[in-house]
Structure 1
Amino acid sequence: MAVTPTTDEFIVIGGGIGGLGTALALAHAGRQVRVLERAPVFGEVGAGIQLAPNATRLLRQWGLLDRLVDAGLAPRHLVLADARTGRELNRLDLTGPFLDRYLAPYVVAHRRDLLDLLLDAAVRAGARLEPDREVHCVEPGPDAVEIGCADGRRYRARAVIAADGLHSRFRALLSTDEPICSGYVAYRGAIPIEQASRTADLDDVVAFVGPGMHFVQYALRGGSYYNQVAVFRSERYRQGDPDWGDPAELHAVFSRACPHVRDAVRSIRTEQRWPMYDREPIDTWVLGGRMTLLGDAAHPMLQYLAQGACQALEDAAALAAAVDRHLPAGPVDADAPVQAALAAFAHDRAPRTARVQRNARTWGDIWHVDGLAATLRDDVLAHRGPTDYRATDWLFGHTPGQRASSPAGPVVERDEAR
């Protein structure tokens, strides 16, 4: 068994967006960091991803924003429309006033493009990335953590960050909770633009919302690809059918949609389905003072606010800031600075991410209502102007570790527990 000596090193378990973002943030802060990924290669499944200003401001700090915009697209509006009639309900302007307020753009990109940028930047910053390393044990000690892999390799680190996703095996060391199935399922994928049967305005991100279903469309890679996401509540799940949410049920549910949505769903990819899960927020993220959860391992959320990756990147920046405040560079004999850094990180992040998790659930409920509730929703949206950002300030205006600006200036705030 090989033990890797690490005097001033962090080990990150998981090489997704949260794990690589954390490696980059720590390496930028001058820390030694190693990422252990169980897959044979670093990669990302899925299709499009939406990144709000609370994430793109961080990507700018790390020198990646311009490259991401070049690889993706900066839409002009977020649009909500009625899935049954196609009628527009509301639009949010993402151009001048939005940029002035949040100091960074809203960007859509392919998940793989974002991951590749993070991976390349992390390596350039000095992070060590090791695929095909399945971690099976983490043993915090008084002055270090021992990490054991399935292939017999062992590592020794000052602290460990578990960024191993929704089904995190290391969360089980802190909580007995399990993922919660929403009863909704998603089909998603990016296709060449010429294969899309129906497209919305290519400058917009459009969500068609309706009773128990929604459909999202937006362009990627400068308009050469088109991302589509179809989500619906499965009646067969409620009935206990193990084959719930299959393509036949997808098309049956969306047969009630308007022609635009109904036709577009026919071109969506159905090789893989994504049942939608989250978990209840937990307050305790730190084990033994030397291991912390991060990203979906700490706070998996439903997709309705498009904040999963954004919150993981916020985590990365907040952790690096906490380490910088509490943990001197170089050898440290006492474990108190490590404990202080991880405790400060979790204390800062847990209330913020819990709020996002709960709001994501609520926003999903609002999208999927019917009857009088839908009428009331539509009336509220109709009276919200395209530059009314009051509902998004708490979400898009947050920057980890930064204090609120003047009310007359840009809205970039440090979120507190509320």
Structure 2
Amino acid sequence: MARAEHIIVAGGGIGGLAAALGLSSKGFRVTVLEQAPAFGEIGAGIQLGPNAFHAFDWLGVGEGARATAVYIDGLVLMDSLSDEEICRIPVDAPFRKRFGNPYAVCHRADLHKVLLDACAARPNVALLTDQRITDYTQDGDTVTVRTAAGGSHRGDILIGADGLRSAVRAQLVGDGEPRVSGHTTYRSVIPVERMPEELRWNAATLWAGPKCHIVHYPLSGWKLFNLVVTFHSDADEPVTGVPVDKDFVRKGFDHIADRPRAIIDLADDWRMWVLCDRDPDGNWVDGRVALLGDAAHPMLQYMAQGACMALEDAVCLSHMLDSHAEAGRALLAYHDMRVARTARVQLSSRLIGDHVYHAAGPVRLVRNQMLGGRDREQHYDSIAWLYGGTGLAP
């Protein structure tokens, strides 16, 4: 199996575009197949840890990514029953010095545009829309991808970056529908002037409560506030972006304090998602085909690492394909380097959601005592495994 020259990337989201950008920088010809009629990103706010900025810098878009970001002062955890602060992790100069990059928040669409524009400027990247993949075949030397419209594309390697319900994964792994978590999230964005002054904190704030939480932080140069509220609804079917009214949202938050509950009333345009993920899987590679991002390791939102892990994947994949003469070995090396780290984030996200953010009873009290008793360096030590290394290459 020879070195690849032409790589097909299924999916034009953050992970797919980052992969195209990284691979093109190594001299590969890349074709990105996006199933939608236009390239775009669904959702509003996104949190970016230092590991994301490590990836942006390597991809050559660090300056553009930083220009879209709001640099917050801290990560704040509040108790939504007592309306009291549990802990605050400063993400100021000492944090940046320790981890080599900032922690920031930005609008997903702004970040996606940075990556899209960078790909569009590369002569060895082709960006195609209306390309919904149905399946692929391999002949030992190439991969042929077929689309729902009856077209096909041939390349040396196929990277499935086509999300939670990846068509590439469906064929490669064959593990059916994602796991429905039973957690429902509602998202909205409001103008900054609608946020009460007493809550206009320059922080990513999370109000933890029994079987629920509320998140807010500033976006778009302090023009907007991102609002995300989540509770255990025991929903058993996935839902994506369905509009709901605020009375419907309120139902999961009657048991928390007045101040955090009133945040729900600030927005009129709420949309609902039922959160899904998958169990970690040790099979991302099939010959000349590999998975990336949510197609490989979909995770719940509780560590704010979904996009960050996809960015790390993209950089690692680029390194491995450039440094291995044989394509199949390169994909296996990429898989072996990434699988344990991403599995840890998947499992940690579930654990934090159930037993930290949504804790009740004595578990809530233990959480408050343990997290509230840490100093700055102890907080930093607890997240050093995630932010302390690049996770990008050996």
TM-score, normalised via structure 2 length: 0.92
- Aligned 1:349-360 pairs, distance under 5 A: 349-360=338-349
2:83, 2:63 → 1: CA distance? 34
Shift of 1:246: 7.7
Shift of the alpha carbon at 1:354? 0.5
Amino acid at match of 1:208: W
- Change in Cα spacing, 1:198 to 1:208, as seen in structure 2 (3 Å) is farther
Residues 136, 145 of structure 2: 8 Å contact kept: yes
Per-residue CA shift, 1:34-59, capped at 9, x if unaligned? 10001000011111000101111111
Return closer, same or farther for 1:284/1:238 CA change in 2, 3 Å cut-off. Answer: closer
Change (3 A) 1:44 1:129: same
Alpha-carbon separation, structure 2, partners of 1:360 and 1:208 = 17
Name the CA distance, whole Å, in 2 between partners of 1:79 and 1:197.
Answer: 17
Equivalence for 1:161 = 159
Partner in structure 1 of residue 26 of structure 2:
29
Q: Which stretch has the larger CA shift, 108-117 or 381-390?
A: 381-390
Map of 1:382 onto structure 2: 372
Q: Distance in 1 between matches of 2:376 and 2:220?
A: 25
Instruction: State the percentage of identical aligned residues.
Output: 38
Q: Which amino acid aligns with 1:68?
A: A
Show the 5 A alignment for 1:115-154.
Answer: 115-126=112-123, 127-154=125-152
Aligned residue pairs, count: 383
- How far does residue 68 in structure 1 lie from its aligned partner after superposition? 2.3
Which residue identity is paired with 1:41? A
Structure-2 residue corresponding to 1:342: 331
Amino acid at match of 1:340: R
Aligned letter for 2:168? F
Contact 2:72 2:203 in 1 (8 A): yes
Q: Which residue of structure 1 aligns with residue 97 of structure 2?
A: 100
Cα distance in 2, alignment partners of residues 81 and 97 from structure 1: 23
How far off its partner does 1:268 sit?
Answer: 3.2
Q: Secondary structure at the match of 1:266?
A: helix
> Residues 214-246 of structure 1, C-alpha deviation per residue, up to 9 Å, x if partnerless?
0001001111111010001115x379xxx9x98
Segments of 5+ residues of structure 2 without an aligned counterpart are none
**Is the CA contact 1:70–1:221 (under 8 Å) kept in the aligned structure 2?**
no
- The one-letter code sitting in structure 1 at the alignment partner of 2:230 is V
- Contact kept? 1:232, 1:250, Cα under 8 Å: no
Aligned: 1:395 with 2:386: yes
Amino acid at match of 1:112: A
Per the alignment, residue 170 of structure 2 pairs with 172
Following the alignment from structure 1 to structure 2, what is the Cα–Cα distance between the partners of residues 198 and 300? 36
Conserved 8 A contact 2:180-2:236: no
- Match for residue 361 of structure 1 among 350, 363, 368: 350
How many Å separate the matches in 2 of 1:186 and 1:22? 28
TM-aligned CA distance change 1:255 to 1:165, over 3 Å: same
**Aligned equivalents of 2:275, 2:95: Cα separation in 1:** 30
**Equivalent residue of 1:15, what SS?**
coil
Q: CA, structure 1 residues 198+261, in 2 after alignment: closer, same or farther (shift >3 Å)?
A: farther
Tell me the CA shift for residue 348 of structure 1. 0.8
Change (3 A) 1:226 1:290: same
Matched AA of 1:23: A
- Note if contact 1:12-1:161 (Cα within 8 Å) is conserved in structure 2: yes
Q: Name the CA shift for 1:228/1:199 in 2 (closer, same or farther; >3 Å).
A: farther
RMSD, aligned CA: 2.0
* CA 1:401–1:60: 2 relative to 1, 3 Å: closer
Pairs within 5 Å for 1:210-221? 210-221=209-220
Q: 1:157 to 1:125 in 2, by over 3 A?
A: same
CA distance in 2, matches of 1:270, 1:152: 38
Q: How does 1:166-205 map to 2 (within 5 A)?
A: 166-173=164-171, 174-197=173-196, 200-205=199-204
- How much does 1:202 deviate? 3.2
Cross-structure match for 2:82:
85
Measured in 1, the distance between the counterparts of 2:24 and 2:330 equals 16
Aligned equivalents of 2:141, 2:197: Cα separation in 1: 59
Distance 1:372 1:338 in 2: 53
Question: SS in structure 2 opposite 1:170?
Answer: helix
Measured in 1, the distance between the counterparts of 2:304 and 2:223 equals 22
Secondary structure (helix, strand or coil) at the match of 2:382 reads coil
Task: Compare 313-322 and 391-400 and name the one that shifted more.
Answer: 391-400
Residue 310 (structure 2) aligned to one of 309, 312, 325: 312
Task: State the partner residue of 1:294.
Answer: 292
**Distance 1:9-1:402 versus aligned 2 partners, 3 A rule:** closer
Structure 1 residues 246, 372: CA separation in 2 closer, same or farther (over 3 Å shift)? farther
Deviation of 1:83 after TM superposition, in Å, equals 1.1
Deviates more, 1:379-388 or 1:76-85: 379-388
1:370 and 2:360 equivalent?
yes
Amino acid at match of 1:213: C
Among candidates 6, 9, 12, match of residue 9 of structure 2: 12
1:200 and 1:217 in contact (8 A); partners too? no
- Map 1:218-229 onto structure 2 (within 5 A): 218-229=217-228
